[in-house]
Amino acid sequence: MKNSLLLILLSILTLSGEQAFSANKPNPSSPPDRKWWKEAVVYQIYPRSFKDSNGDGVGDLRGIVEKLDYIKSLGIDVVWLNPVFTSPNADNGYDISNYRDIMREFGTMADFDQLLKGMHERGIKLVLDLVVNHSSDEHEWFKQSRSSRTNPYRDYYHWWPAEKGKPAFRPGAFEVDGSGWRYDSLTNAYYLHYFSYKQPDLNWENPKLRKEIFDMMKFWFDKGVDGFRMDVIPFIAKDTAFPVITQKELQQKYNGDWSQYMGSGPGLHDYLKEMNREVLSKYNCMTVAEGAGVTVKTAHDFVDEERNELNMLYHFEGVSLGYLPDKFKVMDPNGYKLTEFKKIYSKWDSVFSRKGWGTIYLGNHDQPRMVTRWGNDSLQYRELSSKMLTTFLMTMRATPYYYFGDELGMNNIKFDQIEDYRDIESISMYQQIKNNGGDLQEFIDAQKISARDNSRTPFQWDASQNAGFTSGTPWIKVNPNYRAVNVAAEEQDENSVLNYFRKMVRLRKHNPVLVYGAYKLLVPEDPQVYAYTRTLGNEQFLILLNFSAKKADFALDKKLNPAFVLINNYPNIETNGKQVKLAPYQAVVVRMK
Ligand code: GLC
Ligand code: CA
């Protein structure tokens, strides 16, 4: 095979997406059901770690305002901001004590207004994080609710009177004992919290509570925000009888997965329809559910247009791949199989091929850095594999959610000791494993790959102290590779990960085939290459991604013309037109017709 391959090394013209396509405009026949949020690229900012404007070591809104031109330069359309509301920060803002004000550490409402204005002036939309499965235990509602059994706010939360005995088990994700109930002696009752005890679950079965939430959403929409990312929204509805769920039942009905149980409470879709009717339908907005517990079978219930609920959701099947089943985020020593990866993303593409619309992401504030988890963060391949993963995200039929810092190729910090972690999840899991006499070293090693704090380290602006993020002491350590990996350095380098991201965004934005075109997986069994076509009208793009550190062969059934390579993370492509030899982590997008 090798010998028969006529290897031609061809230098590719350095055409940007725009140049390539002004000469060759896409088919004007517009695809059905176009929506701005389908065509958008979403850029997620973790405000705590983006830019600190006042030297207290914590990123803030004024910091984002300072960097709006940078954000604009990426070419993205929408910014999703993690929660910026008043919060005691048990879970970095996912525990809100006032939904209508800004966290002091992040600034003031005036700063927020300025940020929103600055984004809109630049044509960027702003999506906020809606955290309404639970509030903070320091929210006024909860203070009232716990004060007495007859308080008017009692039914804003879920209480179980202790005289009925212990409530049936529900999981509490961030609790050392794993329980989702906490006893409160003040009224001799337990309250429900699916996360930490600092995050009591709101009672959506109460219409008064729903009205409060809807009014609050209107408050932000009336300010001009463009949408919401909805935190664990499938969890909001509960069977308030809180029946016992046996292992057998959990297995049979929910595949043994608590999040599937929690994501299918009885009133769920009524509440979402009501939210749509009362709020969402009145604004030109976008919504995306954090699809915890959502499966290919239930996905349509959230996002089909005619159901009038939400626009998009993101699933967990992809990012869960490769972990051992009975351990907490410990990677299978054999890594993940690309064939499985392809199967999952192809399946989810087909879920939305006729109805609804998908999302695609490989990183966010709950995931480690994508290049460490899905690429290769060694010195040799960090940049190449970052670009390859970016190519994947920007060429799928789904709205890309791109996590800040991935455009620089930022990788996991890999802390050696628990003391460096700030995340409630890592800290409580460590304690849980310790209490159970488990293997702490295994946990620390696994966290180097999977911990959330890996993606929460400060953004790397330049080579000055603390990567230019803060003049003070950063709230979490800066990745020591910042002297090489930072915006300032990458701006200077035409071939940087940053500039590749910008080109890739442009390519997507200028080619509807990359947004709406039909997706077809090629070579599903190939263990190294992820290859697919995107086709719209009489246009077809071929995407070739080598997910491995070894060269990989790919055979075509028709001729590939190297002059039509639109983007390539290498200077060349090795091909005779019918066969391609992909270099390690090589990514190319080629126009086929
Ligand atoms: C979501 C958030 C995560 C948070 C949790 C509880 O999964 O993305 O960061 O810890 O909900 O609010
Ligand atoms: Ca600050």
Alpha carbon of 46 to ligand 2 centroid (Å)? 13
Do 184 and 191 touch, CB atoms closer than 8 A?
yes
Index of the ligand 1 atom closest to the CA of residue 194: 6
Which of 80, 196, 229, 231 to mutate to test ligand 1, by most ligand atoms within 8 A of the CB atom? 231
Collapsing DSSP to helix, strand or coil, 223 comes out as helix
Of residues 163, 221, 222, 175, the one with CA closest to residue 200: 175
Residue 563 neighbours by CB distance under 10 Å: 11
Domain limits of the chain?
2-24+517-591, 36-135+208-505, 140-192
Ligand nearest to the CA of 55: 2
Give 3-state DSSP helix, strand, coil % of the chain, rounded to 5.
35, 20, 45
Tokens of 262: 């929690």
Q: What is the band of 21 on the pLDDT scale with cuts at 50, 70, 90?
A: very low
Tokens of 566: 């639109």
Alpha carbon of 554 to ligand 1 centroid (Å)? 40
Alpha carbon of 319 to ligand 1 centroid (Å)? 15
Collapsing DSSP to helix, strand or coil, 6 comes out as coil
Q: What is the pLDDT of residue 182?
A: 98
| R_g of the chain, CA atoms, integer Å | 24
Q: Is 383 in the pocket of ligand 1 (CB under 6 A)?
A: no
Q: What is the pLDDT of residue 31?
A: 57
Q: What is the pLDDT of residue 405?
A: 99
Please return the burial class of 113, using the count of CB atoms within 10 Å of its CB with bins 0-12, 13-18 and 19+: middle
Of residues 561, 529, 559, the one with CA closest to residue 545: 529
Length of the chain: 593
Mean pLDDT of 552-556: 96
Q: Is 393 in the pocket of ligand 1 (CB under 6 A)?
A: no
Tokens of 338: 């690309």
Residue in the block written with tokens 């915006």: 487
Beta strands in 239-361 (DSSP E): 286-290, 312-314, 359-360
Q: What is the pLDDT of residue 17?
A: 36
Close Cβ partners of 447 (under 8 Å, ≥ 6 residues apart)? 329, 415, 421, 426
Residue 494 neighbours by CB distance under 10 Å: 10
Structure confidence by residue, pLDDT tens digits, 115-169: 999 999 999 999 999 999 999 999 999 999 999 999 999 999 999 999 999 999 9
Residue in the block written with tokens 């004992």: 177
Of residues 80, 107, 110, 83, the one with CA closest to residue 97: 83
Index of the ligand 1 atom closest to the CA of residue 174: 10
Close Cβ partners of 578 (under 8 Å, ≥ 6 residues apart)? 555, 556, 559, 560
Q: What is the pLDDT of residue 296?
A: 98
Close Cβ partners of 90 (under 8 Å, ≥ 6 residues apart)? 136, 196, 198, 199, 424
CA 318-321-326 angle, to 5 degrees, is 135
Show which residues are catalytic. 231, 290
Rounded alpha-carbon distances, angstroms, from residue 51 to 56, 174, 376, 413: 11, 28, 27, 18
Structure confidence by residue, pLDDT tens digits, 235-292: 999 999 999 999 999 999 999 999 999 999 999 999 999 999 999 999 999 999 999 9
Q: What is the pLDDT of residue 3?
A: 36
Of residues 420, 461, 455, 449, the one with CA closest to residue 69: 461
Alpha carbon of 176 to ligand 2 centroid (Å)? 31
Index of the ligand 1 atom closest to the CA of residue 292: 7
Q: What is the band of 312 on the pLDDT scale with cuts at 50, 70, 90?
A: very high
In the DSSP assignment, the letter for residue 91 is: T
Between CA 279 and CA 179 the distance in angstroms is 34
Structure confidence by residue, pLDDT tens digits, 184-243: 999 999 999 999 999 999 999 999 999 999 999 999 999 999 999 999 999 999 999 999
Q: Whose CA is nearest to atom 4 of ligand 1?
A: 94
Mean pLDDT of 390-412: 98
CATH architecture of residue range(s) 140-192: Alpha-Beta Complex (3.90)
Between CA 414 and CA 446 the distance in angstroms is 9
- For the chain, first and last CA: distance in Å? 27
Q: Given the DSSP bridges, would you call strands 189-192 and 85-86 parallel, antiparallel or unpaired?
A: unpaired
CATH architecture of residue range(s) 36-135+208-505: Alpha-Beta Barrel (3.20)
Homologous superfamily of domain range 2-24+517-591: Golgi alpha-mannosidase II (2.60.40.1180)
Residue in the block written with tokens 């770690």: 49
Between CA 455 and CA 411 the distance in angstroms is 8
Q: Is 105 in the pocket of ligand 1 (CB under 6 A)?
A: no
